[in-house]
Structure 1
Amino acid sequence: MSLPQLLSAATGELALFAGVGFFLFAIDDLAVDLIYFTRTFWRSATVYRHFPRAFADRLPPPTGRIAVLVPAWDESAVIAPMLRAALARFDHPDYRLYVGHYRNDPATAAAIASVADPRVRAIDIGVDGPTTKADCLNRLYAAMTADEVADAHRFKAVVLHDAEDVVDPLELRLFDRLVERAAVVQLPVVPLLDPGSRWVAGHYADEFAEAHVKELVVREAVGAAIPLAGVGCGLERGALDRLAARHDGRPFADASMTEDYEMGLRLGALGLKTMFVRMAAGTGGGAVVASRGHFPTTMGAAVRQKARWIGGIAMSGWDRLGWTGGLGERWFRMRDRRGPMAAVLLAVGYLAALLWGQLALARALGAPVGFTPSPGLRLLLLANAVLLAWHVAMRMIFTAYAYGLGEGLRALPRLLVGNVIAIAASWRAARLHFGGGPRQWDKTAHTFPRELPAMGRS
């Protein structure tokens, strides 16, 4: 076989491989979209005609005490303003912030100490850091439990937040009531836009706009457990004890890079109810109760963070959690774990497009080379083009719904940025997973907004 024939054959095989994979993934995504819109229209036509919508500012008065766990390693730049903002914003009469820091991180300890408020409990977890985030959370859980014994007063719910989060004023009131109905309550996560990083930080806004407006709603509708995002989530106090009893008093999975994700699935596997809640703050319209915060702004930081998610969910999660539960649960575990395969398909697809373009250019310049797809491949590519147009439209619509028309339009080119990050992150995740690491907190640098954001539509 001559070199031109070899290149043509390789282009066809690569295009076919990527095309079949893209088609299967697109049908999977289309099923989520159809369930979401069917459910939305049905609830509008039936449920909301007979029952009024709930609003967070109309919830009954709180009845319990809330513990907020905030693990912190190397967070001296953000932890103090985060705590001050939380203390100023939380609309709840009885809560305590447990903030964990390491003994070899005096800067973070000093920043926590600068916030003089009896509701803040600075916990020196007694070891050098970093360990893992789960280890820090487990030590905060132990400190909280010790306080319950000393005070003879048990917490009603435990809320998780990170050191860079902008908390919602009404979230504790919402958790206070809803943990009476579910063991896990996850609020939407709304990335804050960074004018200096429209493309890298901005792609998180696009992804969360779809995931936390549409996908988690469908996940709950088909009976799959809701995974925790690690922020803006509330846990019924007894549910944590049930996990702790099964794991030597340590409810958070020490060996996991995504202990938050696993927490929701493990509680769901115990038969406990998990719930995703998008509740409007008030009747004025617009804002929902949500956790907000800045996401990585550089390509390197985004790759590191995404690698941690992919490695923890798609690779370690497969090993640690397996395939259990009903059809809906297994479907969404498959969706959670398709990231590495999606990255392979993207890389192969881009390579096929590059070879095809080079062959077309060479032929246009008079070289006796080229690639002519078979009728079957043409039909597959046409179907994929239609499905891609639908996918792009969904991404732009949900982003526009959450952030406005301008960001909705930017979501189109940001798809390419997200694809590049996904490919690089999957490669890094594979290297770390099969190389036996990381075994400590692989965190990225955080920022806290100088001015607290107004509550947006998201």
Structure 2
Amino acid sequence: MGAVEVLAWIDAATREVTLFAAAGFLIGGVDDLLIDLVWLVRRLVHGSDAPVLDELTSPAVPHRFAILVPAWDESAVIGAMLRATLARLDHPDFCILVGCYPNDSATIGEVAAVAAQDSRVTLVVGDRPGPTTKADCLNTLWRALGRSGAPVDAIVLHDAEDVVHPAELRLFDALIDTHAAVQIPVLPLPRPESPLVAGHYIDEFAEAHGKSLVVRTALKAGLPFAGVGCAIRRDALAAITTDHGAPFDAGSLVEDYELGLRLAAAGHAAHFARVREHAGGAVISVREYFPSTIGAAVRQKARWMTGIALAGWDRLGWGRMRDLGDHWMRVRDRRATLAVIVLAAGYAALLGWAVSATGHALTHSPLPNPGAPLATILTINLALLLWRAAWRIGFTAHNYGWREARWAPLRMIAGNLIALLAARRAAIRYAALLAGRAPQWDKTAHAFPASLGGTGR
């Protein structure tokens, strides 16, 4: 086969891959555009989506909250997190239960030291060695709460690395009577040493918790929890508790995501609350550091992809037949694996065109014409990409300022590469689950701020 024939084969293959990727990007871009339009309409009709805390009606008698913190191999952060939480929370009636494993003496020691100083903290050590799953650890805490007989109105979920907002429980106090569950935004803390890897979480959460979950709430679709910063009425959680006394599914990799949808299916819909601490102030949210290395980010994204886009389809199925908004949101949740295939095809097309251009330059032959239909789709996709980048920059700037927002376009590429790497790991993990392998807590190492001065309270 001569050089001309090889080049013709490359041109044909590249065009087909480009057409596949372009069609996939177009579908995804239109889907995202519809979310943008719903958000804009809602914003025009209702104005700002972030009322002020003092505008909400607080109960005459504050509710009692139990904060559940599952902890496996968290000795590096759990002590600081507990002390900061106890010092920061502006609420008169709460307790903290921390779940540990008998083979994790370092974490047990840190929790016990704080519990010895403050009676609001209770150390709960499970019977089985770890790690099991986060959901299994939460079930241990739920059972311990039941055995204690404590008159708790609602539970609050947090992780060992969370920086809680002082007004968080006051916000839950005002909303938990009218909503079975309340989720507040999660805003990752910047990590100057990792502007791309840790930084891409900043952009994604700023947009997801500033727009996507707002739209989801407006459509009355099932609201998945973020796993932290969510309060659930005790009666609602008890309503989905199994005969084994377990409201959390120990076989799930993403118990937070599934819990929100299960509660919604049982008639206990959650509410996403964007509320400002005061006029002109910051949104009441959970702050935390996210992974700063590619390996850690890939492991975390793979767990999310496995649990939501792959196993979640098997475990949860679809919602009520006529609930079109919920169906739409579940499709969006599960499109991640297909989106990665389309993304890989897009990068392959770029490489193919580069090889093609080089080949035609060397053979002094003209580049092939992609054709009017493909050229039109590519033009539309370029416009949608610029539109998407503008939204990403805008939400990041709104939450973090322009210094962080300037990184957003480059971090979109970093996020794509992490997603590609995570997809391979997710496929392997999902295949292992199908083969009968028990799920296990695949956590990453965590960090806690040495100083809370830069966390926006």
State TM-score, norm by structure 2: 0.95
Question: Partner letter of residue 282 of structure 2?
Answer: A
**Among residues 254, 264, 270, which one is paired with 2:260 in the alignment?**
264
Q: Deviation string for 1:23-68 (max 9, x for gaps)?
A: 0000000000000011001112xx99xxx94425865355221000
Distance in 2 (alpha carbons) for counterparts of 1:395 and 1:453: 26
Is the contact made by 1:4 and 1:370 (CA closer than 8 Å) also made in structure 2?
Answer: no
Is the contact made by 1:66 and 1:155 (CA closer than 8 Å) also made in structure 2?
Answer: yes
For structure 1, the residue ranges without an aligned partner over 5 or more in a row are none
Indicate the residue corresponding to 1:450 in structure 2.
450
Q: Deviation string for 1:73-104 (max 9, x for gaps)?
A: 00000000000000000111111100011000
Distance in 1 (alpha carbons) for counterparts of 2:221 and 2:61: 29
Q: Deviation string for 1:116-143 (max 9, x for gaps)?
A: 2100000011211001000000000000
Is the contact made by 1:286 and 1:456 (CA closer than 8 Å) also made in structure 2?
Answer: no
Distance in 1 (alpha carbons) for counterparts of 2:148 and 2:158: 20
Distance in 2 (alpha carbons) for counterparts of 1:367 and 1:4: 12
Indicate the residue corresponding to 1:318 in structure 2.
313
**DSSP 3-state at the match of 1:275:** strand
Is the contact made by 1:356 and 1:371 (CA closer than 8 Å) also made in structure 2?
Answer: no
Q: How does 1:135-154 map to 2 (within 5 A)?
A: 135-148=136-149, 153-154=150-151
**DSSP 3-state at the match of 1:365:** helix
Tell me if 1:304 matches 2:272.
Answer: no
**DSSP 3-state at the match of 1:158:** strand
Q: Decide which moves more: 54-63 or 429-438.
A: 54-63
Tell me if 1:5 matches 2:2.
Answer: no
Distance in 2 (alpha carbons) for counterparts of 1:425 and 1:56: 43
Is the contact made by 1:69 and 1:97 (CA closer than 8 Å) also made in structure 2?
Answer: yes
Indicate the residue corresponding to 2:439 in structure 1.
439
Is the contact made by 1:188 and 1:290 (CA closer than 8 Å) also made in structure 2?
Answer: yes
Distance in 2 (alpha carbons) for counterparts of 1:434 and 1:343: 17
Q: Deviation string for 1:224-251 (max 9, x for gaps)?
A: 011000000000110110011x453100
Is the contact made by 1:343 and 1:423 (CA closer than 8 Å) also made in structure 2?
Answer: yes
Is the contact made by 2:183 and 2:226 (CA closer than 8 Å) also made in structure 1?
Answer: yes
Indicate the residue corresponding to 1:29 in structure 2.
32
Tell me if 1:328 matches 2:331.
Answer: no
**DSSP 3-state at the match of 1:166:** coil
Alignment length (residue pairs): 446
Q: 1:165 to 1:53 in 2, by over 3 A?
A: closer
Q: Decide which moves more: 305-314 or 266-275.
A: 266-275
Question: Partner letter of residue 377 of structure 1?
Answer: L
Cα deviation for residue 367 of structure 1 reads 4.7
Tell me if 1:394 matches 2:395.
Answer: no
Tell me if 1:125 matches 2:126.
Answer: yes
Indicate the residue corresponding to 1:165 in structure 2.
162
**DSSP 3-state at the match of 1:219:** helix
Question: Partner letter of residue 55 of structure 1?
Answer: L
Indicate the residue corresponding to 2:180 in structure 1.
183
Q: How does 1:32-431 map to 2 (within 5 A)?
A: 32-44=35-47, 53-56=51-54, 59-60=57-58, 62-115=61-114, 116-148=117-149, 153-244=150-241, 246=242, 248-283=244-279, 285-325=280-320, 326-368=323-365, 370-431=367-428
Instruction: Provide the identity percentage.
Output: 49
Q: Deviation string for 1:338-372 (max 9, x for gaps)?
A: 11111111110000011101211222233547432
**DSSP 3-state at the match of 1:435:** helix
Q: Deviation string for 1:163-219 (max 9, x for gaps)?
A: 000011111111122110111100000000001011000000000000000000000
State TM-score, norm by structure 1: 0.94
